[in-house]
Structure 1
Amino acid sequence: MSAPSTRFADAARAALEGVRDVPVWLDTPDRPARRAALDGDLVVDLAIVGGGLTGLWGAVLAAQAAPARSVALLEGGDVAWAASGRNGGFCSSSLTHGLANGLSRWPDEMPTLLAMGEENLDAIEATVAEHGIACDFRRSGELTVAVEPWQVAELGALAEAARGLGEKVELLGAEETRALVDSPTYLGSLHDPRSTAIVDPARLVWGLADVAERLGVTLHERTRVVGMHDEGDRVRLDTTSGRVRARQVLLGTNTFPSPLHRLRPYVVPVWDHVLATEPLTADRLAAIGWAGRQGIGDAGNQFHYYRLTADDRLVFGGYDALYYFGSDLASRRRRSPATEQLLTEHLLETFPQLEGVRIGHTWGGAIDTCTRFTAFWAQAMGEKVAAVQGYTGLGVGASRFGAQVALDLLDGADTPRTRLEMVRRKPVPFPPEPFRWAGIQLTRRSIARADATQGRRDVWLRTLDRLGLGFDS
């Protein structure tokens, strides 16, 4: 899908009137009460910085592995307020930002990475079931849909590569795809029935926080870490309301500036925007089909992702990833009226059956993008500190794996995970400003041009491919 359809411009403006600018996941009376901030000094075995999915999985896994270990988690805001509560709720088994990206970087490790990804998603599903986390976790699979002719051929090549690695995927034609979900834009699809679950991400976060506390973890919200210092046998974390001395530290700061300053050039915040309709009526749903409630993404370079919620809202996001000069994370960036208008037009172009449906919620969130699109790890201060970030949009599922690897590194464990080349090597850092901003803007324009010219990649994109660099939404 390239340019917006002017046919839907007026309908999109009408649909957005009176929209609420809060993530649909957070707009609920069931939102838990805020936990107390740190008040004074604390000494623990393990301190975790960041109360998103990485931090919470780290807390749960650490407490389960060593129940006697004292663990404290420090969150600068409220749990689920940032990326963990602002995403589309896709929980993927992919640890490599998709098969194609993984094959281009770690072809020899892909069988292992695929198996580990499947095990990771199975473990998330098992944890949700074991602890009764009411987060509408559904292993509904994913459809990657072709909406331009060139994408049909690319999906065919991807299906062949997946089958060669033992993946059970199905390549569908236009009629078969539209029998599952009816959009006039669909020309075909790749159906993967097991690799993706859809989930209410905020309820997953809140559920994991409850599990962590039941396991003995101490959680402090509104406790921002402002400094980190090596004190020999311990690491001192200075916060806005006290100090924590820990034998080990796990950093799960996502897109926010890391207390480990040397990691900051490796991540940039890319703003992604999302819509959620009002609940769809039975007639509207019947006009689309979608009985399988699969997660859906289209196969463009600038791609959309969308899914249904438990109360039958359609969540629709992606496409127009935005980077602001200086890695701007200001709260004003959470709204982009032009992007919201564009997304609504694209939603109506995808499903003209929904013309007249109102948009109930719209929001934005920052993705921790790195140049290889996948998580990376680092250690510091005599290996007492381990950090993981850079998920580039697939952190809902990969965060558990990322946290587990970080804990392995802190323990000095030699495991199949820590032996991965993906874990042992970091991506190429981004250049400083103004070269960072200029390079990203040039890449965005080249990506848009490729989508408009049957996928043909220009000299700039081919050069980035050769260097192993990139930019994605």
Structure 2
Amino acid sequence: MEVKEKLAGSVTSPFWLSTVEKGPACPSLTSSVDCDLAVIGGGFTGLWSALKARERDPGARIVLVEAARCGGEASGRNGGFCAPSISHGVSNALNRWPDEADRLIRLGQENLDELACDLDDYHIDGGFERSGKLNIAATPWQADGLKSMARNYARFGIEHSLLEGDALREKFNSPVYSAGLFEPNYALVNPARLVAGLRDSCINRGVMLHENTPVTALKQESNGISLQTAEGQIRASKVILATNAAVPLIRRLRPTIIPIFDYSLVTEPLSDAQLAGIGWTGRYGVADSGNQFHYLRKTADNRMLWAGFDAIYHYGSSRERKLLHREETFDLLARQFAEAFPSLSDVKFDYAWGGIIDTSARSTFFTGTACGGRVAYALGFTGQGVSASRFAGLTMLDLLEGVETERTSLSMHRRMPVPFPPEPFRSLAVSMMQKRLAKEDTTGKRALLLRGFDAFGIGFDS
């Protein structure tokens, strides 16, 4: 079957949206309101922030505004990998903050545990499955990387198992991959169902939620912050910015992130026999070890999400909607799928879509304050925000309260990432790094330029 035929008729909206009933939108804001806390953005970060703010102050007036519908952007377009990490993994913590690696790893694990408890406490059916993650290697140097990962995991007491030969084939049988590392403490969620549950929990607890209400301006005033919308205004004592991949309302934050487009395919439902044929009978997620990497998982009805590899930056940090659909990337992903799973080469893809990753130059989110401490922000999740967004929300609330906590005292929150240069240098820098990362995938050798960036804590991963 030709690639075009396998993609023919695929739906261009995220698969996850088909798993939730789309009810009416919350009314847009058409008047002036006063509140104690305004949250801008209705994705994971904003919803967690509003819900946790309500826990801290049951009587607070909390308003959440979303430019479109809650979860319509990155929070509803990702793969639903819910990591026990706030630092983009153990290796990143060790490389960037070696003195705090112990704390970062512990806090990441605690955050995942607490997230699971929150879902139970709020009766949120977000499709949460702590079924583990299998990291796989396609080359000898990637296999060596998994062994290094195993040593780091052993150092910090993280349960894991290295797999080769028959042991790997029993969990994942593909001619492309030769080694694996399985970690059981890793979760998956259904992003759309998680957003819907968080949204309902906020509404049920008195958060005033306005959808289809983009904020056009933020202004500091003597007694608080003024937010201008198309048809209304919000006067808030404090504000949380949770806009992630959108253009930041605070100008000085704009160079700190760039929008990287990532793409996903979802197959037609697969039979038990088809899945057994590739050795994938468990519910764990899978990701390969390249700089340009694929990530894959099963849906509740045994479709396979096959995503990643192409990470596309468009000149001028363009965020145009038409860029969410990219035929050449969908074709490439479909061809790579057939190479990885020859027995599934005739499987069709029912869904094909894109999303934007808010990428920072250090691969982790960062937080901070503006406007005399009345505004808190979190940005730069770099594809690792499903669980870290909850931690970010708590950190922003700490910052707005002006208290030092274990969260706010972390070094990762005390220094901004290196900003991206203006165009045309931005496009040139991204292109240079991507070419060298791709070459490392095929040769196993890290270029001098990348080693130099490593030394200054600058990275480009997703």
Q: TM-score, with normalisation over the residues of structure 1?
A: 0.96
The residue that corresponds to 1:91 in the other structure is 82
C-alpha separation between the residues in 1 aligned to 2:55 and 2:216? 29
The answer to whether residue 416 in structure 2 is matched with residue 426 in structure 1 is: yes
C-alpha separation between the residues in 1 aligned to 2:24 and 2:135? 38
Q: Which of residues 50, 53, 73 in structure 2 aligns to 1:82?
A: 73
The residue that corresponds to 1:72 in the other structure is 63
Q: Name stretches of at least 5 consecutive residues in structure 2 with no aligned partner.
A: none
The residue that corresponds to 1:125 in the other structure is 116
Q: Which of residues 33, 51, 55 in structure 1 aligns to 2:24?
A: 33
The residue that corresponds to 2:459 in the other structure is 470
* Other structure's SS at 1:27 match: helix
State the Cα RMSD in Å. 1.1
- Preserved contact between residue 227 and residue 239 of structure 1 (Cα < 8 Å): yes
The correspondence of residues 213-362 of structure 1 with structure 2, limited to 5 A, is: 213-362=203-352
2:72 partner letter: W
Cα distance, 1:281 vs. partner?
A: 1.8
Q: Which of residues 117, 132, 135 in structure 2 aligns to 1:144?
A: 135
The residue that corresponds to 1:380 in the other structure is 370
The residue that corresponds to 2:46 in the other structure is 55
Cα distance, 1:70 vs. partner?
A: 0.9
- Preserved contact between residue 32 and residue 206 of structure 1 (Cα < 8 Å): no
Identity %: 43
C-alpha separation between the residues in 2 aligned to 1:222 and 1:49? 12
Q: TM-score, with normalisation over the residues of structure 2?
A: 0.98
Cα distance, 1:405 vs. partner?
A: 0.3
Cα distance, 1:92 vs. partner?
A: 0.7
The residue that corresponds to 2:104 in the other structure is 113
- Preserved contact between residue 269 and residue 368 of structure 1 (Cα < 8 Å): yes
- Preserved contact between residue 20 and residue 193 of structure 2 (Cα < 8 Å): no
The answer to whether residue 171 in structure 2 is matched with residue 163 in structure 1 is: no
Cα distance, 1:140 vs. partner?
A: 0.7
C-alpha separation between the residues in 1 aligned to 2:276 and 2:457? 44
Tell me whether 377-386 or 348-357 shows the greater mean CA deviation: 348-357
- Preserved contact between residue 257 and residue 358 of structure 2 (Cα < 8 Å): yes
C-alpha separation between the residues in 1 aligned to 2:148 and 2:165? 17
Cα distance, 1:459 vs. partner?
A: 2.0
The residue that corresponds to 1:412 in the other structure is 402
Tell me whether 302-311 or 12-21 shows the greater mean CA deviation: 12-21
Once the two structures are superposed, what CA deviation does each residue of 1:180-237 show, in whole Å capped at 9, x if it has no partner?
122222211111100x211110110010000011111011001000101111221000
* Other structure's SS at 1:446 match: helix
Cα distance, 1:29 vs. partner?
A: 6.1
Change (3 A) 1:402 1:162: same
C-alpha separation between the residues in 2 aligned to 1:226 and 1:449? 42
* Other structure's SS at 1:22 match: coil
Q: Which of residues 156, 161, 166 in structure 2 aligns to 1:175?
A: 166
- Preserved contact between residue 11 and residue 355 of structure 1 (Cα < 8 Å): no
- Preserved contact between residue 174 and residue 189 of structure 1 (Cα < 8 Å): no
2:36 partner letter: D
Cα distance, 1:28 vs. partner?
A: 4.4
Q: Which of residues 370, 379, 387 in structure 2 aligns to 1:389?
A: 379
* Other structure's SS at 1:382 match: coil
* Other structure's SS at 2:388 match: helix
C-alpha separation between the residues in 2 aligned to 1:321 and 1:108? 31
Q: Which of residues 149, 172, 192 in structure 2 aligns to 1:202?
A: 192
- Preserved contact between residue 337 and residue 345 of structure 2 (Cα < 8 Å): no
Tell me whether 349-358 or 82-91 shows the greater mean CA deviation: 349-358
The residue that corresponds to 1:22 in the other structure is 13
Q: Name stretches of at least 5 consecutive residues in structure 1 with no aligned partner.
A: 1-9
The answer to whether residue 448 in structure 2 is matched with residue 459 in structure 1 is: yes
C-alpha separation between the residues in 1 aligned to 2:349 and 2:295? 16
Cα distance, 1:134 vs. partner?
A: 2.1
Tell me whether 417-426 or 358-367 shows the greater mean CA deviation: 417-426
Cα distance, 1:373 vs. partner?
A: 0.6
Cα distance, 1:400 vs. partner?
A: 0.1
1:69 partner letter: A
The residue that corresponds to 2:94 in the other structure is 103
* Other structure's SS at 1:206 match: helix
Runs of 4+ residues deviating >4 angstroms = none
- Preserved contact between residue 139 and residue 198 of structure 1 (Cα < 8 Å): yes
C-alpha separation between the residues in 2 aligned to 1:392 and 1:174? 33
